[in-house]
Amino acid sequence: MITLKDVLTRLDGELLTPGLPLDLECPRIFASDLMSDVLTSAEPGSLLLTGLANVHVVCTCSVADLTAVVFVQGKRPGADVISQARAKNLPLIATRLPMFQACSEMAVLLGEKGLGR
């Protein structure tokens, strides 16, 4: 199983919500900029990779029971978004990697853990 700490390291990410747990397991990964897709297709417990950095991301993840969010391509949410994520215990990570590269790294990580398809 991969944890949020594994994700943070692999994506050379920055934790935007210090203090929130990094030992959370991420059994599934979902990537999209469309919150409509997250609400329709993401399974509970998924880690979301997205280039969208507004407050709707936090609300969507909370409603759909996602574990955490990685903002790709150097996108950084505002302080209000981070504050709301803290209130909902939703860890946020920022990475400079573009979406495709971030997804590729996650696929490699899953493979290393014996979880690849």
Partner 1 sequence: MAAEAVFRQEFPVKGGDFAKAGTVACQIKDLLKELGIDPQTVRRAAIASYEAEMNVIMYAYEGRMKLAVKPGEVRITVDDKGPGIPDVGLAMTEGYSTATAEMRELGFGAGMGLPNIKKNADRFHIDSRVGRGTRLEITIHTNGHKP
Site of tokens 């209130």:
87
Q: Which is nearer to partner 1, 12 or 25 (CB)?
A: 25
Contacting residue, 26, 49, 52, 85, with partner 1 by CB under 8 A: 52
The residue written with tokens 């880690």 in the block is 47
Q: What is the Cα–Cα distance from 60 to 72, expressed in whole angstroms?
A: 17
CB of 5 to partner 1, least distance (A): 25
Q: How far apart are CA 34 and CA 86, in angstroms?
A: 22
From the CB of residue 66, how many other CB atoms can be counted at a distance below 10 Å? Answer: 23
Q: Does 56 bind partner 1 (CB under 8 A)?
A: yes
Q: Which is nearer to partner 1, 61 or 93 (CB)?
A: 61
- Give contact residues for partner 1 (rule: CB under 8 A): 33-37, 39-40, 44, 52, 54-57, 59-60, 62-65
